[in-house]
A and B are shown apart, each in its own frame.
Chain A
């Protein structure tokens, strides 16, 4: 069909096909990504008979090419002639599902799962099911791991064919059982991670009779890496079972996992604890999970305690309402109290990131009596990360008890962080300043924190000074221009006379940041004179920053000030001896004239008249 259209239209496609085997990986990759274009040009017939066989054999290629190929084939159904022919895509995907690279294999499995939906039930049974069986009994573990991910998608749809359903299902379960007891840990890991998904598509009776024994076996595998994946499967299976079966079928295994010899398995239990809690329901949570959670919080391995500490808030939140407070107060809080003074900083830091959340659950009185002391201990922790996590979550406590109560003890901790020897810590606390200011209110801020914010302006690390100027801008946004004029503008402008030129430059940077939020009046009346005065500074860096500053604040100033005061100064700077000063002054001058233009110049519809106006105004200016 393509031949009739003439040679020209074929040429780009011919190039694409040839580049499928170019030596340059990038070109091959580009070509593979345009595979649909090639297929479209070849037509469905030739795609099926020529292109797909070629692709099936390309598995020697680089991972990234194979990955792209595996992805493309997932949406290729139309290009091979629709659902009727979708099974033609199976051979290339089957070979991709056996490569050693996990990402490629996973993508191939994903595409196989996708196109399995496009198979008719008959095709599924004739083409897809045999493929899954072939993979499941392949020589290499790579094909067997891929098979694990396919059982879940192909069997529910075969069930439409009622006459073969039973037998198909029984072989499926049989194959899966073989995979669960495979010689290689890789296949057992894959089976373990897909067990939950497979269980979901089976009827409850099969889950009870076949899946539970598999789960129990995997959960006591000799390989730690298999057991830890079984935990997740256990959670999914528990969610499927009716309440009355949980105790007998999964709880013994899950209890055993929570006390596994290997910390990695216990870690997994801690990590999946909220999902587990949801799956087993309130009764088992009260009787089994609470003691298990206590043990995890007291685990001898810090990694486990960290994972458990992360879950404290979510666990407490989802406790049954009737007994929530009692359980927290009598069982959880004592463990939390110990964690506050844990030896490991990561544990404390994980706890600090969630502990504030408990106050909303426990209410004002309990918070003041039991939690506040813990917050205060963490606020004084030796590790800045712990203190930071507390400060960044203050808003939840604020809602419950009000910030006043906290502020007395909060302040020393903030001051200490603000003066930390590590500049990254100082930087982090600066970023919380606007949030804190909003929470504490202007009065408290002026009294306690204002001086800190000003001190950062003369920090010896540039990143801190920069963050400090940005912080001032945010504060003004919060507290308004009038507040700025009274409190921070005088201090900022005062630095213009500092003997250190870095501090003088900070004044300019602050003005850059503040002019817009302070508005025209303050900028023209108070800031501009200082900037203009600095144009005669002896340090060139200050002078060219004056030029940049003038350009920056130009839009805020009124035009008379621009013409009368700014222009002469810039013109003088433009004749400066220093190259850079000259450059920035000239740039500011050319920038200034643009600012005088009406804004429609910048609109997207650049009309002819506006361009004329632009040139007109340009030629008028001296």
Chain B
């Protein structure tokens, strides 16, 4: 398997871990999404309990570079509550499926958060002044005798301890019949898309009561359904372009200039299936769980169950690069099917200059795939390596045959410990990795 880090490679070291330490995990605490904002100064997580926690990068200790990557809680708020759809007798979970930051527009920060049905726009703002001085009562709340008022007092703003407030600004409802899997903000900064299993809608950020349906793959007869939308994203620079991936392993690129309804894609990215690898599980494992454009907009990355593929937008017939994430699981697919792990939706992300990609695996392993050197490394987010600035050791999995020293046998991997969500700071080598209920932050080792 992969060669270890070394040479010119980045050495990753532990920085912080967030969340409870005990092994007893409350369902509500399971992290369901992780996202840096555009400057990397803020890091948001969403969980199954409908909460959003925002961490802010420490700015105080600029003199101590090793503390630069410390993130502390900035704001916590309940974004979604559990609901019940009485018409369809359906429970709507409060779980946060996705968080997307908006580019900063003024001193406040804005993010979109979504559960299965409802998308909300949140404003996170700071307040460091408060008004003082009443006419009719003292500052402590005691009322004054109205007869004693001889002059009018105008309140005055005085400095106070910094307070961070999160307030819901817009609630975008009734846009989706099925479960929302993706949201993505357009580069025009006034619209965004939301995708569910069968449809993609386009919203204006200031209009909550209507959206435009741009893709609808629902067949007239639901029995003919063979394919669902698994993820969708806008191009980072071209406001008219977006892609969506499907459960059949294809990616469609649509041009909103061509027509209002994008049912006809303008490009279809698909790799011909290798007949020798064909099995009962082929279709399940080819389903794409995440699609992400590179920062420069030239490439996109897709993640399926066993691999990460990088596509050049100008080449539709095959990916330019393919990386195996955990090929050793191919022999285990049967048991992974039985315990439902085969349906896990792993996400993937790019580093700041698109040279390395990261994605998760089982046993709290995550993978760094270096594109230029075609090198990859497996790292582990674990309690054992929680010492400050401790360098992460590469891990190796033994696929079969004789197990060498330091190698872990496939049979001893823990499939309950999975890393589905990871995020990479947009400029620096700082990564956030979500294990079940813990958020690990690692950074490049600084000498």
Contacts and interface: CB of A to CB of B under 8 A. Distances in A.
B258 interface: yes
Taking residues whose C-beta sits less than 8 angstroms from the other chain, chain B's interface range is 35 or more
Interface of A: 2-3, 7, 10-11, 13-15, 17-18, 20-21, 41-42, 46, 50-51, 53-54, 57-58, 60, 98-100, 102, 140-143, 184-186, 189, 222-225, 261-264, 300-303
A225 B190 contact: yes
Contact of A223 (B125, B187, B259, B260): B187
A185 B257 contact: no
B259 A17 contact: no
Nearest to A142: B106
Contact of B260 (A3, A143, A263): A263
28 contacts: A2-B152, A3-B150, A3-B151, A10-B150, A10-B151, A14-B152, A15-B136, A18-B134, A18-B135, A41-B152, A50-B154, A50-B156, A54-B157, A57-B129, A57-B131, A57-B157, A58-B131, A100-B110, A140-B104, A142-B106, A184-B189, A185-B190, A186-B189, A222-B239, A261-B257, A262-B256, A262-B257, A263-B257
Contacts of A102: 206
A58 B131 CA distance: 9
Nearest to A225: B188
A231 to B, nearest CB: 15
Contacts of B135: 14-15, 17-18
Given A54-B156, A98-B106, A262-B257, 8 more contacts: A46-B152, A53-B157, A140-B105, A140-B107, A185-B187, A185-B188, A189-B190, A263-B260
Contacts of B155: 17, 20-21, 54
B146 interface: yes
Contacts of B259: 263, 300-301
Nearest to A51: B154
Nearest to A262: B257
A14 B188 contact: no
Contacts of B190: 185-186, 189, 225
Nearest to B167: A62
A350 to B, nearest CB: 15
Nearest to B125: A60
B153 interface: yes
A262 B146 contact: no
Q: Specify the main secondary structure of chain A where it touches its partner.
A: helix
A17 B188 contact: no
B209 to A, nearest CB: 16
Contact of B136 (A14, A41, A51, A300): A14
Nearest to B147: A7
Interface string B231-248: 000000111100000000
Given A102-B206, A140-B106, A186-B189, A10 B157 contact: no
Contacts of A141: 105-106
A20 B155 CA distance: 9
Contacts of A54: 131, 154-157
A15 B135 CA distance: 7
Nearest to B131: A21
Contacts of B125: 60
A100 B187 contact: no
Contacts of B219: none
Interface centre among B105, B110, B153, B154 (most CB of A within 10 A): B154
A261 to B, nearest CB: 5
B123 interface: yes
Contacts of A186: 105, 189-190
Contacts of A263: 257-260
Given A11-B146, A223-B187, A42 B104 contact: no
Given A186-B189, A223-B239, A99 B106 contact: yes
A321 to B, nearest CB: 37
Given A17-B155, A21-B131, A54-B156, A222 B237 contact: yes
Contacts of A51: 154
A13 B152 contact: yes
Ranked nearest first, the 10 interchain pairs of A and B with the lowest CB-CB distance are A14-B135, A262-B257, A50-B154, A140-B106, A57-B157, A142-B106, A225-B188, A261-B257, A185-B188, A21-B131
B238 to A, nearest CB: 7
Given A100-B105, A100-B123, A186-B105, A2 B151 contact: yes
B218 to A, nearest CB: 20
Contacts of A57: 129, 131, 157
A13 to B, nearest CB: 6
A89 to B, nearest CB: 16
A351 to B, nearest CB: 18
A186 B123 CA distance: 18
Nearest to B123: A100
A465 to B, nearest CB: 30
Interface string B398-436: 000000000000000000000000000000000000000
A592 to B, nearest CB: 48
Contacts of B257: 224, 261-264
Nearest to A265: B257
B82 interface: no
B103 interface: yes
Contacts of A225: 188, 190, 239
B165 to A, nearest CB: 8
A224 B152 contact: no
B197 to A, nearest CB: 27
A3 B135 CA distance: 14
Contacts of B153: 14, 17
A561 to B, nearest CB: 55
Contacts of B187: 185, 223
B220 interface: no
A354 to B, nearest CB: 22
Nearest to A302: B260
B237 to A, nearest CB: 7
Contacts of A14: 135-136, 146, 149, 152-153
A30 to B, nearest CB: 16
B1 interface: no
B173 interface: no
Nearest to B258: A263
A211 to B, nearest CB: 24
B127 interface: yes
A263 to B, nearest CB: 6
Contacts of A58: 131
Contacts of B107: 140
B282 to A, nearest CB: 38
A42 B189 contact: no
A262 B240 contact: yes
B154 A42 contact: yes
Nearest to A101: B169
A245 B155 CA distance: 59
B26 interface: no
B189 A185 contact: yes
Interface in B145-199: 146-157, 187-190
A13 B153 CA distance: 10
